[in-house]
Amino acid sequence: MIRFGIVGCGGIAKKFARDIKFVKDAKLVAVSARTKEKAEKYKEQYMVPYAYSSYNDLASSNEINAVYIATPHSFHYEQAILFLKHKKHVLVEKPIAVNQLQFKEMIKVAKENNVLLMEAMWTYFLPSTIYIKKYIEDNNPGNLREANISFGYALIDNYPEERRLLNPNLAGGSLLDMGVYPVSFYNLISNTKIKNIDAKAELTSSGVDKTTYIKITDASNSITNIKSSIEEHFDNNATLIYDNVKIKIQDFSRSNKFYINNKEYNIPYEGEGFVHQIRSFVNTIEENKIENPIANHTLSMKTLEIMDQVRNKIGLTYPFEKNNTNL
């Protein structure tokens, strides 16, 4: 039985608690938060046996052997390292780290302690995503000529700048929060070497990106257009145009409906969608592996590499990176 602790009690952690009930050999047994009150409230709401107000106490606990980190991006690195060093298997909410340097160190510590480190990119594990990837691999769609992937929601009307989405100290902005989805999806479906990345962004008064546009040109001259936003609601679809096939994925990040050459497919997911990634994480531990075959380290690193390049082009560096404390 994989006994999970949860770090952070926000909305995504609540979704995790609801979906873990559908996964065999997985159980939520502990929670930790910045305050005892938050941890106790979560414990009562989701009937969790143990609540901790200290992340160190949770990491030291013998009640858990795995942890799900659901805190703001800027905390992922430090918290993951803490639990990895206590030999806990670690599932980290996307993005797994703020930059490549952080992630390289996380991988190193995971290997040293022989534990699983995985990014919680739930889109990878949806039945619709699995079907589409297999279809592309097994059939002959030809070369990818063009892709358009968008992900955006209007989230920042009357939104305080000190909160997560707009706060540079918490690695805010649309790229790491929203853009990580289309960038990750691009990496999942394309194995062609990237030739060039162009990017531009609209910045907030706090200095983070509210809308970002990315154009990726690969070695075969295929063009992929990606846009993300925390200011504007997009259609959130992914359209992949190959020589012989056109694939349109409706609401790609959580899709259960897509079209292949205009033929409609409906493949629902279990629970609220997190069931599949939790199950894969648990199966990887039970198989005594320290890297998930789908959300592998290479894929997560490629996503961070693109996002690092995009941030460099749009001039977005977080304060803790400027101070060389990103590790």
What tokens appear for 320 in the block?
């803790």
Distance CA 101, CA 85 (A): 18
266 Cβ contact partners less than 8 Å away, ≥ 6 residues apart = 256, 257
CB-CB neighbours of 191 under 10 Å: 10
Q: What is the mean pLDDT of residues 157-161?
A: 91
Q: Is the pLDDT of residue 218 over 80?
A: yes
Task: Please give the mean pLDDT across all residues of the chain.
Answer: 96
Cα dihedral across residues 123, 128, 132, 138: positive or negative: positive
Nearest residue to 52 via CA among 25, 30, 77: 30
Q: For position 324, what pLDDT does the model report?
A: 58
Nearest residue to 187 via CA among 149, 236, 213: 149
The residue with tokens 């990017």 is 199
Reported confidence tier of residue 36, pLDDT bands at 50, 70, 90: confident
pLDDT tens digits, residue range 85-121?
999 999 999 999 999 999 999 999 999 999 999 999 9
Q: Which helix (H) or strand (E) holds 42?
A: helix 36-45
DSSP class of 251: T
| Planar angle of CA 279, 73, 319, nearest 5 degrees | 165
Q: For position 214, what pLDDT does the model report?
A: 98
Indicate the SS3 state at residue 249. Answer: strand
The widest CA-to-CA distance across the chain, in whole angstroms, is: 57
Q: Is the pLDDT of residue 153 over 70?
A: yes
Under 8 Å between Cβ of 324 and 102:
no
- DSSP one-letter string for 270-327: STTTTHHHHHHHHHHHHTT-SS-SSS-HHHHHHHHHHHHHHHHHHT---HHHHTT---
Q: What is the mean pLDDT of residues 18-32?
A: 97
- DSSP one-letter string for 172-217: -SHIIIIIHHHHHHHHHH--SPEEEEEEEEEEPTTSSEEEEEEEEE
Indicate the SS3 state at residue 33. Answer: coil
Q: What is the mean pLDDT of residues 201-215?
A: 97
Q: Is the pLDDT of residue 143 over 80?
A: yes
Q: What is the mean pLDDT of residues 27-56?
A: 93
pTM above 0.85, yes or no: yes
Helix-, strand-, coil-residue percentages of the chain, each rounded to 5: 40, 25, 35
Domains of the chain: residue spans and CATH: 2-121+275-290 (3.40.50.720), 127-268 (3.30.360.10)
Q: Is the pLDDT of residue 83 over 80?
A: yes
Size (the chain), residues: 327
Q: What is the mean pLDDT of residues 45-64?
A: 95
Q: Is the pLDDT of residue 326 over 90?
A: no
